[in-house]
Amino acid sequence: MREHRNHAAGLAVEATGLVKTFETVRAVDGVDLEVHQGQVLGVLGPNGAGKTTMLKMLATLLPIDGGSARVFGVDVAANPHQVRQMVGVTGQYASVDENLTGWENLVLFGRLLGLSHVQARSTADELLSSFGLTSAAGRQIKAFSGGMRRRLDLAASLIRRPPLIFLDEPTTGLDPRTRGQMWETIRALVRDGATVLLTTQYLDEADQLADRIAVIDRGAKVAEGTPDELKTNVGNSTLHVRLEDRERTAEAAALVARVLGEEPVLTPEAGGLNIALPDANRAADVLIAMREAKLGISTASVRQPTLDEVFLALTGHHSDRDDAEAAGGLR
């Protein structure tokens, strides 16, 4: 018991049995989460899985319908004002004022957080330069690009140097270069000692940033572990092969099963095989075996498992569901 309490003292977030119900839909259905101080927890799941709803409950933006949550030991439902003093929230859609300039936004939030006029201005200037936004300081947010908005949004969350940062899909909709910059920024925050809880739809993002990943589906946690643990569930990487002669698909599948000891997954397009590899090096074994069997290949590629493959392996169903209820549950 004593040990347990010591353990809990090192937790930035501790949630047990979180529940959120929207009318008849249980958008979040009994989720347990723990984030250790200084760690990054990635909450991975498809659209409508309940990630945003869960984050909003932890950030005091939505009332908690069931279960409990503590942030640095403070109960979220009982002391929201205290929790708000420790948390910076960056939303999925930029939560800054469209009509104000970048600088005015940061000064406004600084003043709201109790900084003096002078402090609010100097903090705004410092943050704008840290985030490479100095040249856009006097522009209204309306004229900002998607990447600039996200950066300003993140800057606005850091005015009071919060020890815990919630990031809701920080790179959704960003181009690859801006995405890389955002990742760098998040890594720098973690190096400074911040604790981060981020939601994402991308396995590679969780892989890049998170110490631990919780996979969420239909409001429930279906798996949790380090990125490596999760990936071994689905094979470290996937070899995708497309045959020249689609008639020989079954023959190729049997060959793969012989080489790796496991059946490949046939892709929807004819003549395609997705082969989960325990180790990327085994791709060569498969390809050599195919050459020897004179199986012509039109394309071959080795890649990381996609979120959908992780999902399929963990839940037995695909992640892209046309579920109107689930989509409604996102809000």
Partner 1 sequence: MAASLTQTVPARPLAARPTMRETLQQTAAMAWRALLKMRRNPEQFFDVTLQPLLFTAMFTYIFGGAVAGSARSYLPIIIPGILAQTTLTACMATGIQLREDMDKGVFDRFKSLPIARIAPLAGPAIADLLRYGIAATLTILVGFAMGYRPGGGLAGVLGGWALTVAAGWSLAWVFTWLGTIARSAQAVQGISMMFMFPLTFLSNAFVPTQTMPGWLQAFVKVNPVSQVIYACRDLMNDGRLTPHVGWAALGCAVVVAVFAPLAVRSYARKM
Binding-site member from 26, 111, 242, 321 for partner 1 (CB under 8 A): 111
**193 lines the binding site for partner 1 (CB under 8 A):** yes
Tell which one of 87, 148, 203, 255 touches partner 1 (CB under 8 A): 87
Residue selected from 104, 204, 211, 285 as contacting partner 1 according to rule CB under 8 A:
104
Measure the CA–CA gap between 201 and 52, rounded to whole angstroms: 11
- Helical (H) or strand (E) element with 119: helix 117-130
How many Å is the Cα radius of gyration of the chain? 23
How many residues are present in the chain? 331
User: Segment near partner 1 (CB under 8 A), from 93-101, 197-205, 242-250, 323-331?
Assistant: 93-101
CB under 8 A: which stretch of 125-133, 214-222, 241-249, 282-290 binds partner 1?
125-133
Q: Which is nearer to partner 1, 38 or 225 (CB)?
A: 38
113 touching partner 1, by CB under 8 A: yes
Q: How many amino acids of this chain bind partner 1 (CB under 8 A)?
A: 52
Q: Which residues contact 24 (CB under 8 A, 6 or more apart)?
A: none
Residue bearing tokens 């925050």: 189
Answer for which of 2, 4, 81, 294 binds partner 1 (CB under 8 A) is 81
> Would you say 165 or 216 has its CB closer to partner 1?
165
Least Cα distance to 270 among 300, 232, 298, 243 occurs for 243
d(CA 130, CA 137): 12
- Give the residue with the Cβ less far from partner 1, 193 or 261: 193
Q: Which stretch binds partner 1 (CB under 8 A): 104-112, 202-210, 281-289, 298-306?
A: 104-112
Is 188 among the residues that bind partner 1 (CB under 8 A)?
Answer: yes
Helix (H) or strand (E) holding 32: strand 25-36
Tokens (6 digits) for 256: 């793969």
Q: Is 12 within 8 Å of 35 (Cβ atoms)? A: yes
Taking the least distance from each CB to partner 1, the nearer of 4 and 161 is: 161
Q: DSSP class of residue 39?
A: -
The first and second tokens of residue 149, run together, are: 């908005």
* Among residues 65, 75, 97, 285, the one that binds partner 1 under rule CB under 8 A: 97
Stretch in the footprint of partner 1 (CB under 8 A) among 19-27, 162-170, 229-237, 256-264: 162-170
| 129 is a contact residue toward partner 1 (CB under 8 A) | yes
151: nearest Cα among 135, 127, 121, 122: 127
109 is a site residue for partner 1 (CB under 8 A): yes
57 within 8 A of 64, measured Cβ to Cβ: yes
124 close to 202: Cβ distance less than 8 angstroms? no
Other residues' Cβ atoms within 10 Å of the Cβ of residue 294: 7
8 A C-beta contact, residue 163 and residue 195: yes
* 194 contributes a contact to partner 1 by CB under 8 A: yes
Which one of 21, 122, 140, 201 is in contact with partner 1 (CB under 8 A)? Answer: 140
Beta bridge partners of 301: 240
Question: Rounded to the nearest whole angstrom, what is the least distance from the CB of residue 51 to partner 1 in the complex?
Answer: 15
Q: Using CB atoms within 10 A of its CB, is residue 6 exposed (0-12), middle (13-18) or buried (19+)?
A: exposed
Among 162, 264, 272, 329, binds partner 1 (CB under 8 A): 162
Q: Is 211 in the site for partner 1 (CB under 8 A)?
A: no
Site for partner 1 in 231-250 (CB under 8 A): none
Binding residues for partner 1, rule: CB under 8 A, are 37-38, 59-63, 72, 74, 79, 81-82, 84-89, 91, 93-100, 104, 108-109, 111-114, 126-127, 129-130, 140, 156, 158, 161-165, 185, 188-189, 192-194
